[in-house]
Every structure is written in C-alpha cells, then in structure tokens.
Amino acid sequence: MDKNSIIGFVLIALVMMGFFGYQSHQIKKQQAAQAQLDSIAAVQAREQFVQDSIFLAEHPEIAAAREQAQTAPAAVPATAQAVYSDPLLNAAVSSAEEFVTLENEKLEITFTSRGGQPWSVRVKDYTNYDKTDLYIIREGGSDFGYVIYAPTAIDTRKFNFGIEKTDDATVVMSLPLSNGGCIQQTYTLLPDSYSLNQTLALVGMDGLIPANVQSIDVDFEADIPRMEKGYKGETQYSRLNYYFPDDKKPESIGNGRNNSKRFDNRIEWFAFQQQFFSAILRAPNNFSYGEFSINFAPKDNAEGKLMHCGAQMRADISKSPRIEVPLEFYFGPNDYKGLKAYGHSYEKVIPLGGKIIGYFTKWVIIPLFDWLHKGISNFGIIILLMTIFIKIVVLPFAYKSYSSSAKMQALKPFMDKINAKYPKQEDAMKKQQETMDLYKKAGISPMGGCLPMLLQMPILWAMFRFFPASIELRQQPFLWAKDLSAY
C-alpha cells in the first residue's frame, strides 16, 4: 500500500472519529437538556398535583367522577344498573350497537355506534405481504373517545350514539341529554383522500360543565397489525411519533423497543407509524397535554399484531352553548410527496437520516428517484441507474484518485532516494519538505486518493436510509428479489 493510500485511510478514520465524537457530544447535550426538561416537568407535575388536589377537595363530585371514569369498564352489559343521574345516558349504555360505513376511492372506514368511533380502517390501494386486504385498524382494533366532566365523568366509549345522518361522505352521531343538549360527533371523509375530519360538539352543556373545568380528555389506542413479511425490519422502522408546533422534526419512541413518554407541552399531532403506513391524529388547536406508550407484540403472536400504541391527550375548551373540538385523522401510506402535500409536516415521520444525510436524501435521492420513475416502471432498474449515475458523478474525482495513485507509483524510486538521503529522525522536517516539493513538481495532491470516498459516503448512506422507508419499493420484485424494500 502506497503512502497516498495510507494518508487517505488515516483521513477517513479521522473524519469518522470526528463524526462519531460530534454525535456523542450532541447526544450528551440532548440528554442533559432532556434531564433539565424532565426536572422542570416533575416540578410542574407536583405543582399541578397540588392544584388538582385542592380543586378536587373543593369539588368532591368531580373527584368521584374521575375515579369512576378510571375504574369503570369500557363496555357495560345491558343488564347493568343505572349509574348516571341522566336517564338518557343510562338508556344509551345498554342500547343496541349499530355500524355504518363511509367509503371513498382510497379508504373504507366502518364506524360503530358504541362510542361513535371508527371500528375498522381499510386502505384500498394496498395489500398485505400475503395479498390479503390491508387494514391499518382491524375490526374492533382501536379505542377512541372523550372523557367529559359534566360534572359526572362521561366517557363516550361507554354509550351507543344514535346515527342521526349519513351520506356518502358524512356521518353524524349523537348522544342526547335530558336537558335538551347532546354530545355530537361528525365525521367527514374527504373525496379521493386519506383524510377523515372529525368534530366533537358539546351542545347545551355549558351549564353542566363546572367553571374550573377547562379541558376534556381525548384518548386513542390501537392495535396495529403486521403488514410485512419480515418482522425484524417492520419493527425496526415502526414507532410512535409526536410533533410539537413549529418544531423542526417530530420526536419518537419505539423502533422495536417498548417505551412511554409524558409531556405537558402543546402537541400538534401524533402518529402510530408502521414501516409504510400511519394513523395520524392532529388537533388544529393543539393538544395541551400528551402521554404516549408503545408496546411491540411477539413475533409469532396468534392475532397477527405488530404493536399496541396508546395516546392519552387533553384538549382545551371554552365555555359556550356549543363547544366544538375539531380533529383530523390520516389513515394511509408513508408517501413523502403525499404527506408533504398536507402542509402539516407529516412527511417528517419518514426516516430520511440526520441533518446532512437528510439533506442529500431530500434534494438528491428523492428528486432523482422521481425523475427516473417518470419514464421507467421497474424499480430494480431505477436503483441500478441511480447507482450508475452516482458513480458517474464521482468519476472525475475517482479518475483523479487513480491518476494520483499511478503517479505515486512512478515517483517511488525518487521517494526511496529521499528516504535514503534523510535516514535520521532529526532530518524528518527536511525529508517532509523535499517530499512535498516532489509532490508539487509532479502535480500530486495527498488528498486526491480519499476525496472520492468521502464524497460518496453521504450519498450512499442517503440511499441506504431511503430505500427501506420508500413505499414505492414495497412489494416490488426484481430478478430473484420479491420485495426490494426488504434489501
């Protein structure tokens, strides 16, 4: 191995050491910042606990209602005794469950009257690895609802809502109250879209909700099923994301590991993200609190579950004769351009790499991929062409490296003479100076051998990050490969 190659490898090693050192330093800074935030959150939690304790001591009926909401079962048998002072609520506990379906070109969503919530969500354009229908939420695989303190805890998941109105795009479900008011949930499935808009309306309940109650609970849990053949890859790229307003990118937990987080910050949206599909819930007015958990199922579980995701949120309300809480669901693929079109930073759930790698992915890999796909339908050929294109881009630098290496070989007799001329250690500076003069006369740069390797690293790493997360490659065969996204 010539001296030029040795210098190149040493420089690469130094760059890698510097990169990992920088990453380690950044991680320590983030851990220190997180520790500070945790300390602040702990203090705030203690203060909130004291305030809640004082408030609940002054309002024993609300304390009893919260305890009831936490301990009562989600489903109450038809023979259950009356537990609410409102007879219409007691009647709704044991009334018959009904189902209704909304459908557009991309989604088929079935709703249950029990809680007035989605019962199942099927994505029409895609299938599981075994070609069966793809459900982001299987039948009965989720639990979505509100807890309203009015002043008794009213957990919407315990009641059967009446289906008031339904058409091709909208379903309205209501839970009437004896005072003439109602709890109303309106779902609207947008045409040719993966979006489902939902509005909760508390009508005529301003006199029932205590003055000190300024929020309601919003709970969403779901069992996300397996959709890919490879369990390891699917869990590695599946997680729970949560996005703070105007932040650069979402935070996340998961990636194959069970975890939970709690925040008192305002949160715009969160996502139950499988490798290629997501269930996202966004609050246009932001959530004021969030508690998240994710637990992965064993590989060979009989139900075919991938993970269980949970989110316990809080939404602020203002007292009025009609209190409305708007929400937006997204049930669909993790397609970069499609998610970006929503304008809510949904596309940031796709793991494109860090700041430098992500830059190459967004501005080099994705545009090149899309450009090639306009004229070529075979994704295997696209990958080959992208590889060739990158090689062509770095070819001038590679040529310079090979030329530099050849010149170094030609200069070896002269280098041997210099080494023989200055054999002593104290003559190292003279030997180095004469060596550099020789390089200059021959037009050789010591950096010429390692530059192409350094240039290729971020581009190749960007490709490595992009392909496993690219839904375009999902279930696409090429030669012996049945699924390019798995390679």
Q: What is the pLDDT of residues 461-473, one digit of tens each?
A: 777 777 777 787 7
SS3 372: helix
The residue to which tokens 């075994």 are assigned: 130
Confidence (pLDDT) at 79: 39
pLDDT-based confidence at residue 76 (cuts at 50, 70, 90): very low
Residue 403 tokens read as 């030329």
> Is the torsion defined by CA of 309, 314, 315, 317 positive or negative?
positive
- Asked if residue 451 and residue 314 are part of one domain, the reply reads no
Q: What average pLDDT does range 399-406 have in this prediction?
A: 71
**Highest mean pLDDT of the ranges 65-69, 110-114, 245-249, 480-484:** 110-114
Give percent above pLDDT 70 in the chain.
Answer: 77
Q: What is the DSSP string of 19-74?
A: HHHHHHHHHHHHHHHHHHHHHHHHHHHHHHHHHHHHHHHH-HHHHHHHHHHHHS-S
Q: What average pLDDT does range 6-34 have in this prediction?
A: 53
Q: Residue type at 363?
A: W
User: Can you tell me the distance from the alpha carbon of 380 to that of 376, in angstroms, rounded to the nearest whole number?
Assistant: 10
Confidence (pLDDT) at 65: 46
Angle at the Cα of 462 from the Cα atoms of 458 and 464, rounded to 5 degrees: 120
Query: What are the φ/ψ torsions at residue 148 (nearest 5 degrees)?
Result: -115, 130
User: CATH number for the domain including 318?
Assistant: 2.70.98.90
- Asked if residue 276 and residue 149 are part of one domain, the reply reads yes
- Asked if residue 181 and residue 135 are part of one domain, the reply reads yes
pLDDT-based confidence at residue 395 (cuts at 50, 70, 90): confident
Decide if pLDDT at 64 tops 60: no
- In terms of phi and psi (left: phi > 0; alpha: psi -120 to 50; beta: otherwise), the region of 94 is alpha
Confidence (pLDDT) at 462: 74
Length of the chain: 487
Integer CA distances (angstroms), 412 to 407, 409, 417, in order: 9, 5, 9
Decide if pLDDT at 48 tops 60: no
pLDDT-based confidence at residue 435 (cuts at 50, 70, 90): confident
- Asked if residue 80 and residue 163 are part of one domain, the reply reads yes
Q: Which of 302, 335, 350 is the last residue of a domain?
A: 350
Total domains present in the chain? 2
User: Can you tell me the distance from the alpha carbon of 84 to that of 91, in angstroms, rounded to the nearest whole number?
Assistant: 10
CB 294 within 8 A of CB 273: no
CB 394 within 8 A of CB 402: no
Least confident range of 24-38, 182-196, 337-351: 24-38
Q: What is the pLDDT of residues 360-373, one digit of tens each?
A: 777 777 888 878 87
pLDDT-based confidence at residue 43 (cuts at 50, 70, 90): very low
- Asked if residue 251 and residue 218 are part of one domain, the reply reads yes
Decide if pLDDT at 452 tops 70: no
Q: Which of 284, 317, 350 is the last residue of a domain?
A: 350
Confidence (pLDDT) at 285: 94
Confidence (pLDDT) at 345: 93
CB 148 within 8 A of CB 183: yes
Decide if pLDDT at 2 tops 70: no
User: Can you tell me the distance from the alpha carbon of 105 to that of 196, in angstroms, rounded to the nearest whole number?
Assistant: 13
In a domain, 28, yes or no: no
Decide if pLDDT at 56 tops 60: no
Q: Which domain holds residue 132?
A: 62-350
Confidence (pLDDT) at 364: 76
Decide if pLDDT at 110 tops 70: yes
Decide if pLDDT at 408 tops 80: no
In a domain, 82, yes or no: yes
Least confident range of 324-328, 379-383, 404-408, 414-418: 404-408
Better pLDDT: 251 or 351:
251
User: Can you tell me the distance from the alpha carbon of 272 to that of 294, in angstroms, rounded to the nearest whole number?
Assistant: 9
pTM attached to this predicted model? 0.73
Q: What average pLDDT does range 76-99 have in this prediction?
A: 74
In a domain, 139, yes or no: yes
pLDDT-based confidence at residue 54 (cuts at 50, 70, 90): low
pLDDT-based confidence at residue 86 (cuts at 50, 70, 90): confident
pLDDT-based confidence at residue 195 (cuts at 50, 70, 90): very high
Q: What is the pLDDT of residues 222-244, one digit of tens each?
A: 999 999 888 888 898 899 999 99
Q: Residue type at 426?
A: E
In a domain, 365, yes or no: no
- Asked if residue 465 and residue 396 are part of one domain, the reply reads yes
- Asked if residue 304 and residue 178 are part of one domain, the reply reads yes
Confidence (pLDDT) at 393: 76
Q: What average pLDDT does range 105-125 have in this prediction?
A: 96
In a domain, 38, yes or no: no
Integer CA distances (angstroms), 41 to 30, 47, 248, 264, 289, in order: 16, 10, 22, 7, 12
Q: What average pLDDT does range 210-217 have in this prediction?
A: 92
Least confident range of 3-17, 36-50, 395-409: 36-50
* Widest Cα–Cα separation across the chain: 106
Decide if pLDDT at 10 tops 80: no
Better pLDDT: 11 or 257:
257
Decide if pLDDT at 459 tops 90: no
Integer CA distances (angstroms), 464 to 254, 347, 355, 483, 487, in order: 20, 18, 15, 15, 9
- Asked if residue 131 and residue 75 are part of one domain, the reply reads yes
- Asked if residue 440 and residue 302 are part of one domain, the reply reads no
pLDDT-based confidence at residue 74 (cuts at 50, 70, 90): very low
In a domain, 19, yes or no: no
Report the side by side order of strands in the sheet with 133-137: 99-103, 107-112, 117-127, 133-137
In a domain, 52, yes or no: no
In a domain, 170, yes or no: yes
User: Can you tell me the distance from the alpha carbon of 450 to that of 212, in angstroms, rounded to the nearest whole number?
Assistant: 67
Confidence (pLDDT) at 429: 80
- Asked if residue 388 and residue 459 are part of one domain, the reply reads yes
Q: What average pLDDT does range 329-338 have in this prediction?
A: 94
Q: Which of 317, 350, 383 is the last residue of a domain?
A: 350
On average, the pLDDT of the chain sits at 80
Confidence (pLDDT) at 471: 81
- Asked if residue 239 and residue 132 are part of one domain, the reply reads yes
433's enclosing H/E stretch is helix 428-442
User: Can you tell me the distance from the alpha carbon of 257 to that of 228, in angstroms, rounded to the nearest whole number?
Assistant: 18
Residue 371 tokens read as 């450009």
- Asked if residue 390 and residue 345 are part of one domain, the reply reads no
